[in-house]
Each structure stands twice: as structure tokens, then as C-alpha cells.
Amino acid sequence: MMLQLDSQPLQQRMSQSTKTAVLVIGGAEDKIYGRQILHTFFQRSGGVDARIAIIPSASREPTVIGSRYHDIFSEMGAKSIEVIDIREREHGENLEWQAFIEDCTGIFMTGGDQLRLCGLLADTPIMERLRLRAQAGEVTLAGTSAGAAVMGHHMIAGGGSGESPNRALVDMTIGLGIIPEVIVDQHFHNRNRMARLLSAVAGHLDKIGIGIDEDTCAMFEGDGSFEVIGKGTVTIVDPGETAQTNYPDVEATAPLSMHNLRLHILSNGNRYDLGKRQILPSES
């Protein structure tokens, strides 16, 4: 069953009166030294007043990965932390966990397998409330690696690299629809995934492709813009003015052509408006 997505623009779905945000992290974020991205999530979740839910469901070792992030946010001084260890779909109806999701100020989805994460969470009461609270600006949400891949309505489930863009290079499915306007690819330049993202965008010209490097984050604000945080870059593939593509007409392994794409590569501090599809002046 597909998620019923809110048709309102992102800036209307997230409150502009709060400091909450949605952090889409490319994976392998610094967990030891500066912890810039994790500290940003912690502060946007309320700092020492933060009540943080950790969802390690994408991982095959949820106990290990959940404990690691629990320790990190505990060291930072979070007021309370709960590991929402959903391993079966029925766990998504757990009333105690639903109550914590309703009351928490920050939610962190870990890395692992995005298909596993969607399979366990999609259309569950916990996921529906998480999505609505994040879109309303009531809670800060972060997802890293697999937790980033699920953010769009259309999701990259897997694929290859090192080839020309082609339909067979990427496997697509339905994500969790937190930010339906985007298609996210993670570990981006680190794993040579430009052709994969281009292949995904070619089949969904109404979306914006976002490729996020490791230890890098696109932090979406309530006004529909995002800021880049971290050591790498965020690549934006905007097909809004694409004049022509052979996507519908060629075999799955044939090279794709796309004319008049717009490409942006943003680094730390750069900002982009998703609705207007334009670079914004960096805040001083």
C-alpha cells in the first residue's frame, strides 16, 4: 500500500515558527571528533531538553547501532533517549513507542538497508505520526544513509555505478514520503553514484535529485530551503527545464540522453530553495 502524501508544498507543511528541521545525511557522519552534524541534530532537537527517539530498523544489528547512537546523544546531555527497536511490522503499533514518538523532540533513523526500513515502517501508526509531525515542524527528524534514502516518495533501492546513465543502472521503489519532492542518493561521490542518480531522475522528471556525500547533510528548514552542513558536497540535479530525453524509448541497458539539465554542487554553508529551484545567498 502506497503512502498518502500531503499535496501541500514543503514550506506549508513545516512550521516556520520553530527551530526544527529535517536533516538528510549522506552516511558515515563523524561520530568521534567534531560531530558537527550530530551536534546540529542534537541542538535542533532541544539540546539538553531533547527527548530523542532512535530508530535502528534499517540495520541488521539494531541493538549495536541503537546503543551507539544512544551513547552519543547521552554524552551530549539529552534529557531522555528511547531506542525504537522495530523488528516486525506489528511493532509499529506499540502504544508505548507511539507515545514516545508523540512526545519526543528529535527522531534519528540510522543507516542499513532502506528496503528493510521501508518494509518495517511504511504505513504503520508510528511511521504515519512521525511523518506528519516532521512535516508540521513539530519535531526534528534526521536520517543517515538508508535513513536518508527513504526521505522521498520515489526511492533508490539499489543499483550500480561506473557506467553511462541507463534505466537498468538503478532500482526504484516507494519511500516514506517525508520530502516527496526529492530523490535522494547517499554516499554520493564516495561511491561514484552520479550516473545512478541521473538514471533515477530521467524516469521522474517532476522530482529533484539530491546526491549527498559522506559526513555531509542537507538540512531542510521550515521555509522549504536547505543548508549544506559537513565536509563534502550536495549535488542537485534539476530536470525542471529538460527539453528531451530518450528514457521512454530505449532498452533498459541503452545509454540515456537528457537535454538541458541544471546541475548545482553545494558545499558547507551553501543554501538552496527547493520550491524556487534556486541557490540562495549564504547566511553570514
Lowest mean pLDDT among 16-30, 91-105, 168-182, 226-240: 16-30
DSSP state of 277: T
CA dist., res. 77 & res. 74, Å (int)? 5
Answer yes or no: is pLDDT of 116 > 80: yes
Picking from 24, 105, 30, 19, the residue whose alpha carbon sits closest to that of residue 72 is: 30
Residue 281 within any structural domain of the chain: no
Cell of 116: 528493510
Report the mean per-residue pLDDT for the chain: 93
Active site residue 204: no
User: Which band of pLDDT confidence, cut at 50, 70 and 90, is reported for residue 282?
Assistant: confident
Residue 275 maps to a domain: no
Does pTM surpass 0.85? Answer: yes
CA angle 62, 188, 39 (to 5 degrees): 55
- For cell 558537527, name the residue: 36
Measured distance CA(176)–CA(117) in Å, rounded: 9
Determine which one of 187, 199, 214, 225 is catalytic.
187
Instruction: Identify whether 7 is part of a domain.
Output: no
Q: Which of 39, 91, 163, 264 is catalytic?
A: 163
Q: Is the pLDDT of residue 20 over 60?
A: yes
Active site residue 259: no
Cell of 125: 501508526
Instruction: Supply the CATH number for residue 182's domain.
Output: 3.40.50.880
Task: Give 126-138 pLDDT, tens digit per residue.
Answer: 999 999 999 999 9
246-260 burial, b if ≥16 CB within 10 A, otherwise e? Answer: ebeeeeeeeebebee
Most confident of 1-5, 155-159, 240-244: 155-159
The Cα–Cα gap between 174 and 121 comes to 12
For residues 39 and 84, what is the distance between their CA atoms, to the nearest angstrom?
A: 21
In a domain, 254, yes or no: yes
Give 283's pLDDT tier (boundaries 50, 70, 90): confident
Active-site residue (options: 59, 145, 199, 225): 145
Q: Which residues contact 276 (CB under 8 A, 6 or more apart)?
A: none
Q: DSSP per residue over 119-185, as a string?
A: HHHTTSHHHHHHHHHHHTTSSEEEEETHHHHTTSSEEEEEE--SS---GGGEEEEE---SSTTEEEE
The pLDDT of residue 10: 52
Tell me whether residue 181 is one of the annotated catalytic residues: no
CA atoms 51, 57, 58, 64: torsion sign: positive
Report how far apart, in Å, the C-alpha atoms of 239 and of each of 5, 200, 203, 220, 267 are: 22, 11, 10, 20, 21
Domain with 200 in it: 14-270
**Does position 209 have pLDDT exceeding 90, yes or no?**
yes
- Tell me the C-alpha distance between 147 and 191, whole Å: 17
Q: Based on the structure, what is the number of domains in the chain?
A: 1
Does residue 210 belong to any structural domain of this protein?
Answer: yes
